[in-house]
Amino acid sequence: MKKISMILLAVVGLILSGCGPKGFVRGSYDEDVNATNLLTDKWSESDMQNAVKDLVGKASNHYMIRTAKKPPIVMITRIQNKTSEHIDTQSIGDMMRVELMNSSGLQFVDKEARQDIAEEYDYQGSGMVNRQTRKGPGGQIGADFILNGRLDSIVQQAGKDKTVYYKLTLNMTNLKTGIIVWSGYKQIRKVYRKQTVGL
């Protein structure tokens, strides 16, 4: 009787462990990282790719960039996250920079590298670096424009239906005059319907 009880307990334990939450243990590479990803109702890489592609096209075709005698120098400052989600907006700025450099030849000043540059100036001026190759303060090129913006969202839910709306707005401002010379936005709306999960 004791053995039967032990066997029954073991069987019940196995059944219960099979009903518990499953971990992700097997994966594979997605060959197309640009394929639409609507796995969740949160901001995704597909949203970022769509927004950046649209805004890069609009900025690249702006007359100020198309007719410039020399490539304007731009600095990306800050893209504010005004959504209720935790979103790394620096990734949006990074993707904008890469795509604008490749499509329109814009040049960029790296605001994030300033501290590293200052430390390197100190090191190169310490006497450890050959005088003919060392760099120092005073030679950097100032930006002509700053690029900044904000990401907003509105979530609406009624019954089983839910919509998630995002708007990414970017502005390019002339540093000398403070005038916004280009502004653009991209809207994204995603629609979801809750499904009943059966046993």
User: Is the predicted pLDDT of residue 11 greater than 70, yes or no?
Assistant: no
- The pair of three-digit structure tokens given for residue 30, joined into one six-digit string: 């997605």
Provide the edge-to-edge strand list for the sheet that holds 161-174. Answer: 107-109, 73-81, 145-158, 161-174, 180-193
Q: Read off the amino acid at residue 25.
A: V
Q: Which residue has the tokens 């970017």?
A: 170
- Between 10-14, 62-66, 101-105, 139-143, the lowest mean confidence (pLDDT) is in 10-14
User: Is the predicted pLDDT of residue 165 greater than 60, yes or no?
Assistant: yes
pTM: 0.78
- Residue 52 to residue 49: CA distance in whole angstroms: 5
User: Is the predicted pLDDT of residue 22 greater than 80, yes or no?
Assistant: no
User: Is the predicted pLDDT of residue 10 greater than 90, yes or no?
Assistant: no
The answer to whether 55 and 96 have CB atoms below 8 angstroms apart is: yes
Domains of the chain, with CATH numbers? 43-192 (3.40.50.10610)
Position with higher pLDDT, 43 vs 34:
43
Q: Which SS3 state, helix, strand or coil, does residue 122 take?
A: helix
pLDDT averaged over every residue in the chain: 87
- Long-range CB contacts for residues 98-104, cutoff 8 Å, separation at least 24: 99/52, 99/53, 99/56, 100/56, 100/59, 100/60, 100/74, 103/56, 103/57, 103/60, 104/59, 104/60, 104/65, 104/66, 104/71
Predicted confidence band at 80 (pLDDT cuts at 50, 70, 90)? very high
The b-or-e profile of 83-107 (16+ CB within 10 A means b, else e) is beeebebeebbebbbebbeeebebe
- The per-residue pLDDT for 86 is 95
DSSP state of 136: -
Q: Which SS3 state, helix, strand or coil, does residue 75 take?
A: strand
